[in-house]
Amino acid sequence: MENKTNVQPERKPVIFSAIQPSGSITLGNYLGALKNWIALQDGYNAIYALADLHTITVRQDPTTFRKNTYDAYALLLAMGIDLEKSIFFIQSQVPEHAQLAWVLNCYTQFGELSRMTQFKDKSQKHADNVNAGLFTYPSLMAADILLYQADLVPVGVDQKQHLELTRNIAERFNMLYSPTFTVPDGYILKNGAKIMSLQDPSKKMSKSDQNANACVHLLDKPDDIIRKFKRAVTDSEACVRYGEGKDGINNLMEIYGCITGKDNAAIEREFEGKGYGEFKLAVGEAVVDHLRPIQEEYTRLIQDKAYLESCFAENAAKASRIASKTLAKVMKKVGFLPMKRS
Ligand code: ATP
Ligand code: LTN
């Protein structure tokens, strides 16, 4: 997905990313995506969102959904999203997202959406509710990105296909009318791009996993984190080395490497001659130590709802100022009449 031409030297490149408040945020979300969001704030014009419109493609209990949204916002601030540097808003509070998504739906082909592997996976997983929103999910995601003329989109590897589709939609619209959207590039981390389930290391670690032991949540208590790592599925070789057929150990090495900055060779040396029990405990403890300050800051922030709500409002207004410009251009090019309110 190389495309350097749309990064103009006179402005800081724009990055956009979003996460759904669809459950409690996991270590996979953090190492695969969110840690990178924090690091990118200095070099880029960073715009981040909680994609709550996407979340209702899977049925949500309203009370839990509201709680997850507050929690995710507070947790991301606790991780280090700095509102002096970045915009961080809630998607449903910026109506331009739903508006542009509708328009883009009409420039996205049924065949393209049918090929999305996430759609296929999620329709199997939620066979009783294969709704139209689940199907058109990628055009809403394209709207999120294109409204801000994003140059780069930091995401986990599982979102690559949606990003390709976003590029195709943008290119198609630009060709049909005139250059309107920046065509974005993906920004996928090498390390931690895909953290796997602790119970089935062939599957990605996912917020919505039914098996509580499969997934470490950032707000899990230290004892629970240690316990989940102790129970992580490994293999029978009892040797800490990266290799084929060792998905469980590879995954634990990846997590440990992301947290400590050590490479695989250093990890292999550190645990030479030691058993899996010792290694799993070390990984658990490293994760607990890393999360401690984040959890403390989250606890402080979540008690201050008034502060959080003022952040929601201020950031939605900032986002809307940018989004409304792109939307107005699109509407005009398509041929809608300008809206004049008396
Ligand atoms: P759900 O279970 O509701 O589908 P999820 O845990 O898969 O949720 P998303 O909200 O879809 O998470 O993704 C948020 C971000 O985290 C995305 O950029 C995604 O690529 C990344 N991500 C999700 N799971 C992982 C994982 N296991 N490893 C690395 N990155 C991940
Ligand atoms: N589909 C994404 C969340 C998401 C997103 C976006 C990511 C919604 N809109 C725009 C990047 C850019 C996911 O992580 N499942």
Domain-wise residue ranges, the chain: 14-193+305-334, 222-301
* Token pair for 140: 């809403």
**What is d(CA 330, CA 342) in angstroms, rounded to the nearest whole number?**
23
Using the CB atoms, write b or e for 287-322: b if 16+ within 10 Å.
bbebbeebbebbeebbeeeeebeebbeebbebbbeb
Nearest CA among 16, 12, 11, 5 for reference residue 186:
16
For residues 29-49, average pLDDT? 92
For residue 122, how far is its CA from the centre of ligand 2 (angstroms)?
15
Residue 184: CB within 6 Å of ligand 1? no
**What is d(CA 184, CA 89) in angstroms, rounded to the nearest whole number?**
20
pLDDT value, residue 127: 92
Q: Where do the H-state alpha helices sit in the chain?
A: 27-29, 35-39, 52-55, 62-79, 96-105, 110-114, 117-125, 132-147, 160-176, 222-230, 247-260, 264-270, 276-302, 305-334
Is the pLDDT at 142 greater than 80? The verdict is yes
pLDDT value, residue 193: 60
Smallest CA separation from ligand 1 atom 15, residue: 29
Active site residue 194: no
For residues 149-158, average pLDDT? 88
pLDDT value, residue 190: 65
SS3 (DSSP) at 26: strand
pLDDT value, residue 207: 79
pLDDT value, residue 104: 98
Is the pLDDT at 286 greater than 60? The verdict is yes
Confidence of residue 4 (pLDDT cuts 50, 70, 90): low
Choosing from 158, 189, 211 the residue with most ligand 1 atoms within 8 A of its CB, the one to mutate for a pocket test is: 158
With tokens 């670690």, the residue in question is: 205
Q: What is the dihedral of CA 164, 152, 23, 288, to 10 degrees?
A: 130
- pTM equals 0.91
Query: Which CATH entry fits the domain spanning 14-193+305-334: 3.40.50.620, 3.30.70.2660, 3.20.20.370, 2.160.10.10?
Result: 3.40.50.620
Active site residue 203: no
pLDDT value, residue 155: 82
For residues 121-125, average pLDDT? 91
- Smallest-distance ligand from the CA of 160: 1
Nearest ligand 1 atom, CA 55: 3
List 122, 228, 246, 280, catalytic entry: 122
For residue 91, how far is its CA from the centre of ligand 1 (angstroms)?
17
Nearest CA among 238, 237, 241 for reference residue 250:
241
Is the pLDDT at 277 greater than 90? The verdict is yes
**Percent over 90 (pLDDT), the chain:** 84
Active site residue 67: no
* Token pair for 275: 């058993």
Go through the chain and tell me how many residues it has: 342
- Smallest-distance ligand from the CA of 186: 2
Nearest CA among 205, 282, 197 for reference residue 248:
197
List 120, 194, 207, 340, catalytic entry: 207
pLDDT value, residue 206: 87
- Smallest-distance ligand from the CA of 159: 1
Confidence of residue 55 (pLDDT cuts 50, 70, 90): very high
Domain spanning 222-301: which CATH class is it, in words? mainly alpha
pLDDT value, residue 6: 61
Residue 113: CB atoms within 10 A of its CB come to 17
Nearest CA among 25, 51, 69, 17 for reference residue 189:
17
List 204, 228, 246, 280, catalytic entry: 204
> What mean pLDDT is reported for the chain?
93
Confidence of residue 7 (pLDDT cuts 50, 70, 90): low
CB 142 within 8 A of CB 168: no
With tokens 């032991």, the residue in question is: 213
Condensed to tens digits (0 to 9), the pLDDT of residues 309-334 reads 999 999 999 999 999 999 999 999 99
Condensed to tens digits (0 to 9), the pLDDT of residues 83-119 reads 999 999 999 999 999 999 999 999 999 999 999 999 9
Smallest CA separation from ligand 2 atom 12, residue: 17
For residue 236, how far is its CA from the centre of ligand 2 (angstroms)?
37
User: 39 Cβ partners below 8 Å, 6+ apart?
Assistant: none
Could you tell me the CA-to-CA distances from 9 to 5, 14, 151 in Å, in that order? 10, 12, 12
Residue 15: CB within 6 Å of ligand 1? no
Condensed to tens digits (0 to 9), the pLDDT of residues 172-231 reads 999 999 999 999 999 876 655 689 999 999 998 987 788 889 999 999 999 999 999 999
For residue 139, how far is its CA from the centre of ligand 1 (angstroms)?
18
pLDDT value, residue 63: 98
With tokens 């009318």, the residue in question is: 177
